Structure formats: structure tokens, C-alpha cells
Chain A
Amino acid sequence: MTTLALRLRPARRFVVESPVAGPAITLVVVFVLFSLFVPNFLTWRSLSGIVNAATLTGVVTVGITLLMIAGEFDLSVGPMMAMGGYLYALNTVEGGNPALAVLLALLVPGLMGAVNGLIVTRTMVPSFITTLSTMFIFRGIVWLLSGGRMLQTIEKLLVYDVFNGRLAAIADAVKGANFRTAALWWIALVLLFQFILVRTKFGNHVFATGGSAGAAGATGVNVKRTKLMCFIISGLMSGFAGILLFSQFKTVKIASGAGVELLAIAAAVVGGASLAGGYGSIIGGFLGVLIISMLRTGVVLTNLIPADNFEAIVGVTIIAAVIFNNWIHRKA
């Protein structure tokens, strides 16, 4: 046991120590199984569909994963996403100012995240309860803003293409490949926040805060500020997901984003993040979202289970993935 770490070859060591290893293996296994046994799965149309379907949840999952590593939850991401969607929609349609639209769609959900963070760090109400409450409150605020009305447009604006344009070059080169710019934004955010997590002081403090808030505080880490920042980032990611949502569907309604919070938490956990905090990775969360999206597509294509019943498969996956991730780490 004591000298094990040195005897392990680098590859083996990566597998047992990196939070990315578990979800990476799961992803490959799911991909290979579906490719072998499910007709039409291994096509560019299916693969680009998997990525596109994953993108909105994926962007939210960036914030959720970060927050979970810091030891907190955010159940209020759905309404924050709807809020971002409305603010973006209201300020782009009919000759609005796209720059202002993007700014507001990030700023207001960011402030909502700050409200979550301040309640959690000042009142010590657990984040699960706090954000469960603000989920209802924020949904009410979205209702007030929108007057309860769904917002739609048929305008074709440049800004919609910036956030959800067709990647024509790929589509022309590969038949059936319908990748969107939204996926590029998602990947960029994943890489940015993974980098922040492992290479900056803030990232270090996120791990410490979630790993042991007491030890972090005793060594001078500002635990409350670190948590507050993570809540704000979760708000910003939700707002950005709202921007992508409206750019893609040209529709936003009160219920937009409902349920995304649980999918994002599921993805973070499948992606190797610890519910107890202190462990995980943004890349893992990214893989977690892809795994769930892949399951959805695979299950639909098999025709064995009605597509509407896909949640049952997600449930099985979460438990299986957590057991698998834990098993890998015990191997260390």
C-alpha cells in the first residue's frame, strides 16, 4: 500500500487518481456497445444529434459541477436559464441591441446566483433548501417579467447564428453531420473552467472549500467568498444556456429549463463529481452529459423502450456510474 503510488505506471495511476478516468471509460463502453448493437447509432446524424441535445444541459452542468466540487447544490438553474432566455429574447427581437441582450441575460442570472450564494453563506440555510426555494421564487420573477406569455420569433438575426449557427463547412464535408456553434461555446466553457479549476488559486480554493471547509478556513481560504463565486458562476452559466436556448429554438416560455437541474446534477455525478464535495472535474461533467445524451439517443434508436421512458435509463445509469467510479478509486 505505502509505495503503491510509485509502482503504478503512469497510465494506471491516471485511471485510479483522475476524476476523469471513470466517466471516460463509461463513455467509451456505452459508445462501443451502442455502435455494435444499435442500428443507425454510428452515423454522423446521430452523433451530431447527441452533441446538440447535450449542449444546453452541458453548459448548465459546468456551473453545477463547479458548485458541487465546492460542496453545494443549485436547484434554481432552470428558472435562471428561462430568465436569461427572456432577457436575451426581449432585447434581440424587433431591432433590439444584441450586445445589451447578452449582457442582461448574463448579468441578471448572475445576480440571482449571488442571491443564492448570499443566503447560503450568510444564513447557513443548506443550499439544497435555499435553491429549492429560490427555484420557485425565480420562476415567479420570470412570470412577472414575461407576463406569463411565451415569446417566439421568426426573425433570422446574426446573433442567433453566432450562438447557434450551422457549422456549414463540416456539414458540407460530412454527410448528415449537423454540428452547431453552440457546441463550440460549450466546449470552450468546459476547457476554460477546467483550466480555472486546476490551475488557478480560485480553483484550488474550490477544492479545499468542498473537501473540508474547516481546514480551508483555518488555512486562510475565504470559504464564503469562494462559495459565493461558485453560485454566481452557476447563475452565469444558466443565463448563457438561456441565450443558447433562444438562439436554437427561437422560443422561450415560463417552463423553459424545468428539470435541467436534476439532469445537470446527474451528469456531474456520472462525470465523477462527489456529492459530498471536494472531488470532481469539469471535463468529467462534460463527459457525464454526453453519456446521458448518448443513452437517450441509443435507447430511442433501439425502439425497445418508448422514448418518453428514457428517464428510467438515466436513473440506472447514475447508480451504475457512481458504483463504477467508486470502485475505480478504491482500486487505488
Chain B
Amino acid sequence: MSDNGHDTPVVYMENIVKRFGTITALDGVDFTVNQREVVGLLGDNGAGKSTLIKVLTGVHTPTSGQIYLGGEPVKIPSPREARALGIETCYQDLALVPLMSITRNFFLGRELMRNFGPLKLLDVQEMDTQARHALKDIGIHIRSPNEKVGKLSGGERQSIAIGRARHFGASLLILDEPTSALSVGETHKVLTYTLNAKERGLSVIFISHNVGHVYQVADRFTIIRHGQIVGNYTRDDVDEQDIADLITGEREK
């Protein structure tokens, strides 16, 4: 992806339309994420944020429109395929399995195996070691890789999802409402991890209702309303109140 030069967007979604029966959830959306950029994706409930992300992550197939990754047109038929293409998603409540250990979550769907005669078995020790190192690497210290994720705080869970994305070489990290249920201190940590991820070369789509949180980390804001893009803004263009007004439609571009 890096040999495409610095100008090629990581993601370019062109004229995306998604209909569910008679309902048009996305009505000709253009959406871009550049390299090493944090894009805040904002919109009210039902505006189409989730649908747009689900199209990008292979959960939904668009009715029409084209997705380009690193300049190449691609089809993304499944979440598995999205992951293989370097798109890692941390869903609000769906990033991790609470009853499973940190290690098992970290490697879920990408388990390390070792050969045991003709059998392929989970390489539990190697996965423990790698999970611990990968998390330490981005400043996350875990007590034990065998601890159940359900016992971790919301911020710790997000951090594990972020660490996982980085470890597996994702080029784009999607954070879906990462701070919605967190305390102030925890929120601060997650915002820091987000900026860390960007510093290490990832691009991030940061989805949130909380304009204040998005404003702290995003380089650019994309606002969506009624399935259409209202506009793209940088911090120089708008302040937090402007963004809030644009989300609700109290002010037009």
C-alpha cells in the first residue's frame, strides 16, 4: 500500500447507495480516508454512519457504488475479507468476547497453530507471548493474558482491540463509539491510543456521538445526515458547536 505514494487515499468510497427494501439508507455517499489520518464520522442516530461502515467492512453489500482501497477497486463480500484487506473494526460492544481470555480474543479468527503430527493444534504459549508483547508495545500493560476480557474495564477492552489491529498490520482502524460508556480517565486513555495508532502509520475512522471526543483526535470531520454527506471539515473550518449544528441540521453548509 505504501508504494502507492502518499497522495493515494487509504479508502475511497464512491457514490455508495444502499437500499433496504424501500428504505434508502445511503444515498450516493462519497467518503475518503487519507493515509495517517483520523477521520471523525459524525451523524445522528439513523443518519447512515453504521450502514456506511458496514458496507466498508463487508457486513452489507452496497446496492451500487465502488470502493477503492489504496487506489485499487475492490469488492468486500465479508468481514473476513475486510480484515484480510487490512480493515480492522472495533465495534462498540462487539469487538471482543467477554467470556474468553485476552489471548484468545486477540487471536480470534487468526489463531496461531502448531503441527502435532498430522494434527493442527492451537499454539497457546506462543499466542500468550505474542499478545503480551504486542500490547506492551503500544503501552498497554495486562496483568495476565489468560484473564477473561469480561473482567476488564471498557477502556482496557478498547485498548486490546486497538492493539490487535496494530499487531495484525491493519492499515485502517475503525472505532465505533469507542468512548460511549467510558469514564473521563478511560476516555482519555482511548483517545491517546487512537493518536498512538495514527503515529504508527494507521488511518482511523472514529465514529462517535460525542463531538468533544471526536474534536480532540480527528484531523477531519465527515458529517452524514439522512444518508447523505453534509460535508467535510477541518478543525480550522468549524468549532464543536458548528459540528453539533451540522449533525442535527440546524445549520446548512
Task: Please give the residue numbers on chain A whose beta carbons come within 8 Å of chain B beta carbons, in ascending order.
Answer: 2-3, 5-6, 17, 199-201, 203-205, 207-208, 211-212, 214-222, 274, 278-279, 332
A212→B120 contact, CB < 8 A: no
The stretch that binds A, out of B16-24, B33-41, B105-113, B230-238, is B105-113
A215→B80 contact, CB < 8 A: no
B94→A211 contact, CB < 8 A: no
How far, in angstroms, from A14 to B90 measured CA to CA in the complex? 31
How far, in angstroms, from A90 to B98 measured CA to CA in the complex? 48
User: Is B140 positioned at the interface, with any CB of A under 8 Å from its CB?
Assistant: no
Q: Which of B100, B110, B121 contacts A220 (CB 8 A)?
A: B110
Residues of B159-209 whose CB lies within 8 A of A: none
How far, in angstroms, from A205 to B108 measured CA to CA in the complex? 8
Question: Interface digits, B40-70 against A, CB 8 Å rule (1 contact, 0 not)?
Answer: 0000000000000000010000000000000
User: Is B147 positioned at the interface, with any CB of A under 8 Å from its CB?
Assistant: yes
User: Is B225 positioned at the interface, with any CB of A under 8 Å from its CB?
Assistant: no
A201→B144 contact, CB < 8 A: no
B110→A199 contact, CB < 8 A: no
How far, in angstroms, from A215 to B83 measured CA to CA in the complex? 13
How far, in angstroms, from A221 to B78 measured CA to CA in the complex? 11
Q: Which of B91, B99, B109, B144 contacts A214 (CB 8 A)?
A: B91
How far, in angstroms, from A5 to B149 measured CA to CA in the complex? 13
User: Is B79 positioned at the interface, with any CB of A under 8 Å from its CB?
Assistant: yes
CB distance from A263 to the nearest CB of B (A): 25
What residues of B have a CB within 8 angstroms of the CB of A214 in the complex?
91, 93-94
Q: Which of A2, A199, A217 contacts B143 (CB 8 A)?
A: A2
Residue of B nearest to A222 (CB): B80
Q: Which of A2, A207, A220 contacts B97 (CB 8 A)?
A: A207
A3-B143, A211-B98, A212-B97 as given contacts; A218 in contact with B121, CB under 8 Å: no
CB distance from A95 to the nearest CB of B (A): 37
User: Is B222 positioned at the interface, with any CB of A under 8 Å from its CB?
Assistant: no
B147→A199 contact, CB < 8 A: no
Q: Which of A203, A204, A205, A218 contacts B79 (CB 8 A)?
A: A218
A6-B143, A220-B80 as given contacts; A204 in contact with B95, CB under 8 Å: no
Question: Interface digits, B132-152 against A, CB 8 Å rule (1 contact, 0 not)?
Answer: 000000000001100110010
Which of B99, B122, B124 has the largest number of chain A CB atoms within 10 A? Answer: B99
How far, in angstroms, from A214 to B100 measured CA to CA in the complex? 14
CB distance from A216 to the nearest CB of B (A): 7
How far, in angstroms, from A49 to B122 measured CA to CA in the complex? 38
**Chain A binding site: helix, strand, loop or mixed by DSSP?**
helix
Residue of A nearest to B91 (CB): A218
A-B contact pairs, 17 of them (CB 8 A): A2-B143, A5-B143, A6-B143, A199-B124, A200-B121, A200-B122, A201-B113, A204-B108, A208-B104, A211-B97, A211-B99, A212-B94, A212-B98, A222-B80, A278-B97, A278-B99, A278-B100
B89→A204 contact, CB < 8 A: no
B121→A199 contact, CB < 8 A: yes
6 nearest interchain CB pairs? A220-B109, A220-B80, A211-B97, A214-B94, A219-B109, A278-B99
Q: Which of A6, A217, A222 contacts B144 (CB 8 A)?
A: A6
A3-B143, A5-B147 as given contacts; A208 in contact with B79, CB under 8 Å: no
How far, in angstroms, from A57 to B110 measured CA to CA in the complex? 35
User: Is B96 positioned at the interface, with any CB of A under 8 Å from its CB?
Assistant: yes
Residue of B nearest to A210 (CB): B99
A207→B104 contact, CB < 8 A: yes
6 further A-B pairs in the complex, CB-CB below 8 A; given A204-B111, A215-B108:
A5-B144, A5-B151, A204-B122, A207-B104, A212-B98, A278-B98
What residues of A have a CB within 8 angstroms of the CB of B122 in the complex?
199-201, 203-204
CB distance from A20 to the nearest CB of B (A): 15
How far, in angstroms, from A332 to B99 measured CA to CA in the complex? 13
What residues of A have a CB within 8 angstroms of the CB of B94 in the complex?
212, 214-215, 218
Residue of B nearest to A2 (CB): B143
A216→B108 contact, CB < 8 A: yes
What residues of B have a CB within 8 angstroms of the CB of A208 in the complex?
97, 100, 104, 108-109
How far, in angstroms, from A197 to B186 measured CA to CA in the complex? 35
What residues of A have a CB within 8 angstroms of the CB of B99 in the complex?
207, 211, 274, 278-279
How far, in angstroms, from A3 to B57 measured CA to CA in the complex? 37
